[in-house]
Structure 1
Amino acid sequence: MRNLILASSSPFRRQILDKLNLEYSCISPDIDESALENESAEELVARLSASKAQKVADEVSNSLIIGSDQVAVLGDEILGKPHTHENAVKQLQKLSGNAVTFLTGLSLLNSDTGQCQTEVVPFKVYFRELTTSMIENYLRAEEPYKCAGSFKSEALGIVLFDKLEGEDPNTLIGLPLIRLVRMLEKEELNVL
């Protein structure tokens, strides 16, 4: 029996993966997440999700390793994690009234064969017109400073939106389960 490993320290990704009732462990890969020159958002998340899985594969054998990475894109601009209150305010002001696409790179790497499946899964979020007080109240309530786009959709952040558009709501939180199940099945790990 192969081990299943989530190459992440994200509690949100763990919560999502828990839905599948599979035994797995977590190893947090330490990689440089900087974008390369002229790298598109899609290329960035695909590369980072595969790199996270590969970094863990370098340490283990007999494992299926899940790597995931996500960015928010407004037009051609990649929105990172704000880290500070001031940056989060600016980010939410920019998102107000706009549609933002979240791109999640998902990789499943077989550490024994080296076979790596990688996909980029989009999810679109349409933001309401946000007032200054809405932004301030939201940021005080949730402090989403380590979240791309400055919000947590799985909690109070949902009040910032007009609508959501995508095949799998788990994608927005950072782990597209529908695609992951298909990848696991290709590796002969059936969830049901």
Structure 2
Amino acid sequence: MAVKDLTPVILASSSPRRKELLESLGLSFRLHPSKADETFDPQDSPSTIVQKLAYRKAADVARHYDKGLVIGADTMVVLNGEILGKPKDDQEAFEMLSRLQGEVHTVYSGLAVIDVTDGQACVGYQATKVHMRPLTPEVIKTYIATGEPMDKAGSYAIQGLGAILVDKIEGDYFTVVGLPVALLAQFLHQFGLNVLTVAR
């Protein structure tokens, strides 16, 4: 167990949110953003898509190392069966938020951890329902003017100013942020890395 605790941890993501969440766990890790293809089969279920993409991202980075635990993650927003990605511009962000306001949508976050040494992997996902409060066009435009929606799936960030748009959630908050922390700790533990021990 002690040997595994020294295994390098690599985050296959450029997301500041995921970086901050790993830092909050007290883990020592390096960033290595994935360049994996993120296209997917729209016939697949959201839970299948986020798991496939999370694994693909982790595998893309894992091939660059001889040892280590590589973490890959993918998050998507789904409203009435339709996937809402990152907005291309202010107009698309306005359209997304106009559809989300006053409705309940689901955020899926897929997670994969690959042990580079032997290729073994843990893959899973979490889903959380988000209830967004009714919003006027003026509120939506003011939020978009902050610039926060531009690189976020669904055009909002629950960990930022977007928090004031949300009425309540059903499920795991960190899944909405983009990294299901409890599931990650379970996966790391299966590979012999105890987050509580490392954080001391």
Common fold by TM > 0.5: yes
User: Gaps (5+ residues) in structure 2?
Assistant: 1-5
The Cα of 1:178 is off from its aligned counterpart by: 0.6
Pick one of 57, 61, 64 that aligns with 1:59. Answer: 64
Aligned equivalents of 1:22, 1:50: Cα separation in 2: 21
Match of 1:177 in 2: 181
| Letter of the 2:185 counterpart | V
What pairs with 1:102-181 in structure 2 (closer than 5 Å)?
Answer: 102-166=107-171, 168-181=172-185
Q: Is the 8 A contact 1:142 1:156 kept in 2?
A: no
| Letter of the 2:23 counterpart | D
**SS of equivalent to 1:8:** coil
Aligned equivalents of 1:12, 1:179: Cα separation in 2: 16
Give the aligned CA root-mean-square deviation in angstroms: 1.0
Matching of residue 31 in structure 1 with residue 71 in structure 2:
no
Match of 1:84 in 2: 89
Q: Is the 8 A contact 1:65 1:108 kept in 2?
A: yes
The Cα of 1:37 is off from its aligned counterpart by: 4.6
What pairs with 1:41-60 in structure 2 (closer than 5 Å)?
Answer: 41-60=46-65
Q: Is the 8 A contact 2:69 2:115 kept in 1?
A: yes
Identity over aligned pairs, percent: 37
**SS of equivalent to 1:33:** coil
| Structure with the bigger percentage of helix | 2
**Number of residue pairs aligned between Structure 1 and Structure 2:** 191
1:53-99 deviation digits (Å, cap 9, x = unpaired): 10011111211000000000001100100121000000001101110
Structure 1 residue ranges, 4+ long, deviating more than 3 angstroms after superposition: none
User: Gaps (5+ residues) in structure 1?
Assistant: none
The Cα of 1:142 is off from its aligned counterpart by: 3.7
Q: TM-score, normalised by structure 2?
A: 0.93
Q: TM-score, normalised by structure 1?
A: 0.96
**SS of equivalent to 2:146:** helix
